[in-house]
Amino acid sequence: MSGNTDKNSSAKSIGILGGTFDPIHCGHLHIAQALQQQLHCQEIRFIPCKNPLLGKKAIANEQQRLTMLQRALVSYPHFIIDEREIKRSTPSYTIDTLRSLRKEFKENPLALILGRDNLAHLNHWHEWTALIQSAHLVIVPRIGCTATYNDTIQDLIKKHQTHDPALLLQQPAGLLFMATVKPLAISSTAIRAAIAQGSMPTGLLPSSVLDYILEQKLYTLRT
């Protein structure tokens, strides 16, 4: 797959949604659908991180998380599973992923989608100041996550925030946009907890994914 290098048309933006996807759920699909429209993305790339992750170990293995993504995304032609972090032998640092995407998509705006929970801790990420040099940061609200940021993050917001999403299409990286997507009160943690307690999280994730979880007997133990 290659980036849009046609000089006569402006390069389209690529949305990037990294995560553990343990499991993928309707909250992920909802933000991807909303942002694909709002930001005019040619595609949204779902990038599952490698297992084990530093500090947060997935319960499902890599193949199971990939299978759940495949089932969930099958009817969304603009949503792509990108396996580059799973295939890499090094830790799933987002900056490495962005640099590798940038080699492929030389001119396209890259929009790194992050929940507010992630923005609040962004200054702990590896080479965090380089992230906004490689991509735009698109922040989505999350239920239960209040928008209080430390001074370092407030400074990042002050320097890079735009309120005009159209500007994200005019440069490849460097802007921070707070998207107004209605947050859904869904998390992978709550889904895993529901299954461990023996209740069915129907409606919180695609039924094909829930069927697979039940077939594989995933998340039956409390974590």
Binding residues for ligand ATP (CB under 6 A): 19-22, 27-28, 31, 114-115, 117-118, 140, 142, 183-184, 186-189
Residue closest to ligand ATP (Cβ): 115
Residue 26: CB minimum distance to ligand ATP, A = 8
Give the nearer residue to ligand ATP in terms of CB position, either 61 or 189: 189
Give the nearer residue to ligand ATP in terms of CB position, either 140 or 176: 140
**140 has which bridge partners?**
115
Residue 106: CB minimum distance to ligand ATP, A = 25
Give the nearer residue to ligand ATP in terms of CB position, either 106 or 144: 144
Tokens at 120, concatenated: 């609040």
Give the nearer residue to ligand ATP in terms of CB position, either 3 or 27: 27
DSSP character for 204? S
Residue 147: CB minimum distance to ligand ATP, A = 13
DSSP string, 13-66: EEEEEEE--TT--HHHHHHHHHHHHHTTEEEEEEEEPPSSPSS---SS-HHHHH
Give the nearer residue to ligand ATP in terms of CB position, either 3 or 23: 23
How far is residue 159 from each of residues 37, 49, 162, 194, measured CA to CA in Å? 26, 29, 9, 41
Conformational region of residue 118, where left means phi above 0, alpha means psi within -120 to 50, and beta covers everything else: alpha
Residue 52: CB minimum distance to ligand ATP, A = 14
Residue 130: CB minimum distance to ligand ATP, A = 18
Instruction: Say which residue the tokens 């923005």 belong to.
Output: 119
Residue 184: CB minimum distance to ligand ATP, A = 5
Give the nearer residue to ligand ATP in terms of CB position, either 32 or 175: 32
Tokens at 214, concatenated: 């039940």
Scored b (16 or more CB within 10 A) or e, 16-29 reads bbbbbbbbbbbbbb
